[in-house]
Amino acid sequence: MNFDEILSKYSSFYKMNSYIFREGDNARNIYYIRSGKVILTKILGTIDRIIGILEPGEIFGEMALINSAERLSNAKAAEDSEILTLDEKVVVELMTVNTDFMLTVLKDMVKRIVKLSDMVSELSVDNIEIKVISTIIKYLNLKYKNSYIAIGLSELIRHVSIQLSIPTDEITAVFEKLYKKNLIIITGNNIAIRDISSLIRYKEELINSIS
């Protein structure tokens, strides 16, 4: 069986907002996105926090190849999507007939491990400013992916507050500090960020100052 035949055989279609798996489910398969988008979320306290948005060509659920335990997150379709459901035997077969697929699996596993390490490091830091900036950066990268961004201020404050379970007044205080440092522009109920890299550099400076 060639690569395309394998892809067609194991494809499934998911409507927007339907779950591929839920936190706590048995982890027996990995998944490959042929089309559409997938949101990964994790329950933290009472909040279902977004931890990733995946696009076509990406792998998720890959820890099933290492440890067939329970799922540590939820995965649901962000839009109508075509997803491959692959067990260990099929993954090995795909790697044999297509080296690009093998590299995709390996790269995605490394990327996810690095991302998880970064998240643990940031959450272990008891500094609201660092956490807020990290959440802003992730939100902008996931949703907009460009260098100049202008969005609703209240929308962003609400998103950060929900993700971090921090009151909006504390989030607003951080935004005001970033405004005074010329890292963001606030006009009325809009916020503009000219350069995400400046926020990243400032966050790194904060981390270094307390490490």
pLDDT for position 149: 59
Q: How far apart are CA 5 and CA 54, in angstroms?
A: 24
pLDDT for position 145: 52
pLDDT for position 211: 53
Q: Which phi and psi (to 5°) does residue 53 adopt? A: -125, 120
Please state the domain extents for the chain: 3-123, 125-210
Measured in residues, the chain has a length of: 211
Q: In the β-sheet with 185-187, what is the strand arrangement from edge to edge?
A: 149-152, 190-193, 185-187
pTM above 0.85, yes or no: no
35, β-bridge pairs: 82
Topology of the domain comprising 125-210: Arc Repressor Mutant, subunit A (1.10.10)
pLDDT for position 1: 63
Q: How far apart are CA 154 and CA 141, in angstroms?
A: 18
Segments of the chain scoring below 50 in pLDDT: 146-147
pLDDT digits (tens, 9 = 90+) for 22-51: 988 888 888 989 999 999 888 766 677 787
pLDDT digits (tens, 9 = 90+) for 130-151: 888 888 887 776 665 544 556 8
Task: Compute the radius of gyration of the chain from its Cα atoms.
Answer: 19
Instruction: Report the chain's terminal Cα–Cα distance, integer Å.
Output: 53
* CATH numeric code, 3-123: 2.60.120.10
Whether the domain at 3-123 and the domain at 125-210 fall into the same CATH topology: no
| CA torsion through residues 195, 37, 62, 130, sign | positive
Residue 153 token pair: 């201020």
